[in-house]
Amino acid sequence: MACRIAVFGTGYLGATHAACMAELGHEVLGVDIDQAKLDKLAAGEAPFYEPGLDDVLKANVDSGRLRFTSSYKEAADFADIHFIGVATPQKRGEFAADVTYVDSVVRTLAPLLTRPAVIFGKSTVPVGTAARLSALAHDIAPAGEAVEVAWNPEFLREGFAVKDTLHPDRIVLGVDTNRPGRAEEVAREVYGDIIAEGVPFVLTDRETAELVKSAANAFLATKISFINAMAEVCEAAGADVTQLADAIGYDNRIGRRFLNAGIGFGGGCLPKDIRAFMARAGELGANHALTFLREVDSINMRRRARMMEMTRDAVGGSLIGATVAILGAAFKPDSDDIRDSPALNIAGQIQLQGASVTVYDPKAIENSRRLFPTLDYASDMRGACKGADVTLVLTEWDEFRSLDPGYLDAVVRHRRIIDGRNCLDPAKWRGSGWSYRGMGRR
């Protein structure tokens, strides 16, 4: 049955969720305070690059099932099912998450709720947030305790956001187990089509649901840092981390996914989420449990430093006056997101050490220019590699993976390539007369 749903926040999470809920046949109102974003969305255009999202947005805006507004009043009148999908960034100068935006949705929305309603939080929050917001909503909503707060974490990956929302690995729902209310029934209605496909529905308490998300991201970050630690050992021992990952990955208990060594993880989630998780565990008196995540974080940051060293070595020991080409700025392929991007971070550091740096990325140039206006940008690979003493591949876009070395031969000054994502075929590059170096590879 079609539900009426409001989704607060129209960033990555919120815009995708709103569009996908409409795709499931619901009537959806997306709510944000940023009018420019709302105007774009209302025209059926995502304010960021995400494969397939524009089509879903456009189809559902055109059908009238998906609308956008800046009015909380309109949302409270329209729907009794509310999703929170606003950001929870890292606090300035601290590890902890800043939950101001999540709080502010509840503080603004709850006083307008005169009928029974369910608020589903999707944002990644410190454990305990749902219970706190629930008490707050009961206090300030005219409908009082008839307003329920449940937690329904989102696991979508950028680049696969639509698929991950419409065909998730699982749906997790945390409810107030002392007073379960209607949240489960409502969630089963909203996600009816997805559940019918056999997607597991994990019903739990709110604290566990909040922790599931933090734990999943901590595990993924740990897996990446594990293989990057192995890359350090492989480098020291003259071994090859890619073959090592393939070999251990055949063991089903380990699995090959998320074992790609390179310059490490970035983005708007993993780095800040592991830090927020450590901070929250500390507040709860369980800080020892997560001290290993500090190491996960430092291994990850060492990868960026290692890429600097390798670049310096490649150009003869000093970056001053060197010309460096950088292919890739986004934190991962199929995204224009540059939040905490290892690629862009390395580009900036190399420039600060005196090199002249030109960056090319298929989608992320505009965002990069805004963050790092002092770097040079090119509109294609050849432009970036012109006169390069060394070329670095820092995001594994298909365009770079399938690159024929001969395409760059005429423009570079020296045929040297460093593969920060271990995504190129060393034999192909070496066979074409290039010096190739990967990370943790012979």
Task: Decide if residue 266 touches ligand UDX (CB under 6 A).
Answer: yes
331, 378, 341: which is closest to 357 by C-alpha?
378
In whole angstroms, the minimum distance from the beta carbon of 128 to ligand UDX comes to 20
**Pairing state of beta strands 171-175 and 117-121?**
unpaired
**Pairing state of beta strands 66-69 and 27-31?**
parallel
**Helix/strand/coil (H, E, C) string of 206-217?**
HHHHHHHHHHHH
The only residue of 41, 79, 96, 156 in contact with ligand UDX, by rule CB under 6 A: 156
Contact region with ligand UDX (CB under 6 A), list: 83-91, 193-201, 230-238, 256-264? 256-264
Strand order of the β-sheet with 435-438 is 376-377, 356-360, 323-327, 390-393, 416-419, 435-438
**Under rule CB under 6 A, how many of the chain's residues touch ligand UDX?**
19
Give the residues across from 435 on adjacent strands: 416
Task: Decide if residue 262 touches ligand UDX (CB under 6 A).
Answer: yes
In whole angstroms, the minimum distance from the beta carbon of 439 to ligand UDX comes to 10
**Pairing state of beta strands 66-69 and 81-84?**
unpaired
Task: Decide if residue 265 touches ligand UDX (CB under 6 A).
Answer: yes
Name the residue nearer to ligand UDX (CB basis): 101 or 143: 101
Longest CA–CA span in the chain (Å) reads 73
In whole angstroms, the minimum distance from the beta carbon of 266 to ligand UDX comes to 4
CA distance 126 to 123: 10
DSSP string, 372-408: -TTSEE-SSHHHHHTT-SEEEE-S--HHHHT--THHH
340, 341, 377: which is closest to 362 by C-alpha?
377
Looking at residues 198 to 217 of the shown chain, list those that interact with ligand UDX (rule: CB under 6 A): 217
DSSP assignment letter at 318: -
Task: Decide if residue 270 touches ligand UDX (CB under 6 A).
Answer: yes
Name the residue nearer to ligand UDX (CB basis): 405 or 438: 438
Helices (H), 173-291: 183-190, 192-196, 206-237, 241-249, 270-283
Helices (H), 241-374: 241-249, 270-283, 292-314, 342-352, 365-371
For residue 276, what are its two tokens? 């927020």
58, 59, 53, 102: which is closest to 82 by C-alpha?
102
Site string for ligand UDX, 44-83 (x = CB under 6 A): ----------------------------------------
In whole angstroms, the minimum distance from the beta carbon of 230 to ligand UDX comes to 12
In whole angstroms, the minimum distance from the beta carbon of 224 to ligand UDX comes to 4
Contact region with ligand UDX (CB under 6 A), list: 49-57, 101-109, 200-208, 253-261? 253-261
Task: Decide if residue 269 touches ligand UDX (CB under 6 A).
Answer: yes
User: Could you confirm whether 269 is annotated as catalytic?
Assistant: yes
The only residue of 206, 272, 280, 332 in contact with ligand UDX, by rule CB under 6 A: 332
Name the residue nearer to ligand UDX (CB basis): 156 or 324: 156
Task: Out of 3, 20, 234, 269, pick the active-site residue.
Answer: 269
Looking at residues 233 to 252 of the shown chain, list those that interact with ligand UDX (rule: CB under 6 A): none
Task: Decide if residue 347 touches ligand UDX (CB under 6 A).
Answer: no
Task: Decide if residue 271 touches ligand UDX (CB under 6 A).
Answer: no
In whole angstroms, the minimum distance from the beta carbon of 169 to ligand UDX comes to 9
Which residues are designated catalytic? Answer: 269
Residues that bind ligand UDX (CB under 6 A): 155-158, 217, 220, 224, 258-260, 262, 264-267, 269-270, 331-332
